[in-house]
Structure 1
Amino acid sequence: MPQFLFKVIEVETLKDGLEDPQLINKVATVDAEVIDKESGKTIYKGIFNVRFNKDGVYPAIKTINAIDAPKYIKTELLFRSKRYIKRLRKWL
C-alpha cells in the first residue's frame, strides 16, 4: 500500500486581466513523494503544477501521465493531489 506525501512549494497568481477576485486562477507547485509502506522504497518523487480557482482544482494531467510508475499510482496521485489542494485552497 503506497503512502502519498505532498508539500506546496510555491503559489503563483495568473494574470488573466480579470478584476473579479472569484475568477482568479492560481497555480500551486506541488512536491510529491510516493512511498511503499511495506518496503520503505520510494516509488515516485517529483514536482508538478496544480491549477485552481474557486470553481475547481486541476492537476497537470500530462505531467502525471509522463511518470514512470504503474497506472494505479498515477491515478491515485491525480486524485489525492486534487483533494490536498482543494482542502488548502482557502489559505493559498
Structure 2
Amino acid sequence: MPQYIFDIEDVYPANIQNDQLNTKIAEVRTEVIDRYNGTLLYNVLIPVTFHAYGVYPEISSISKVIEKNYVKREVFFRVRRYIKKLRPFL
C-alpha cells in the first residue's frame, strides 16, 4: 500500500479573460512512496485549477507518470481533497 506526500510549490492566477471566479492554479509536487520499504515509486508535478466552486487536477499530467489505474485514481482524489481543504488559504 503506497503512502502519499503532497507539497504545494507555486500558486498563480489562471490566464482566463473575464474571470469572475478568481481562478487559480496550484502546482502540487506529489510523491508516492512504498509504505513497507520506503522506496519512491512516483514523483510527479500536478497542476491543479481551483476556484470557489471546484478543484480540478490535470489528469493528463498524472497519467504521463503513473501507469497503475488504482494509483492514478487515488492520487487524483487525494490531491483534490488536499487542495480543497487548503483553498481558503491559497
TM-score, structure 2 length as denominator? 0.92
Aligned residue for 2:88? Answer: 90
In structure 2, the CA distance between the partners of 1:38 and 1:56, relative to structure 1 (3 Å rule), is same
CA RMSD of aligned residues (A): 1.3
Aligned: 1:44 with 2:42: yes
In structure 2, the CA distance between the partners of 1:40 and 1:19, relative to structure 1 (3 Å rule), is closer
| 1:17 Cα deviation from its structure 2 partner | 3.5
Aligned residue for 2:13? Answer: 13
Off by >6 Å, runs of 4+ in structure 1: none
TM-score, structure 1 length as denominator? 0.90
Q: For residues 74 and 34 of structure 1, what CA distance do their matches in structure 2 show?
A: 11
Q: Percent identity?
A: 39
Trace 1:1-92 onto structure 2 (pairs within 5 A).
Answer: 1-18=1-18, 20=20, 23-92=21-90
* Matched length: 90
Q: For residues 49 and 31 of structure 2, what CA distance do their matches in structure 1 show?
A: 19
Q: Helix, strand or coil: the match of 2:7? A: strand
Q: For residues 72 and 19 of structure 1, what CA distance do their matches in structure 2 show?
A: 34
Gap runs ≥5 in structure 2: none
Gap runs ≥5 in structure 1: none
Q: Helix, strand or coil: the match of 2:75? A: helix
| 1:69 Cα deviation from its structure 2 partner | 3.2
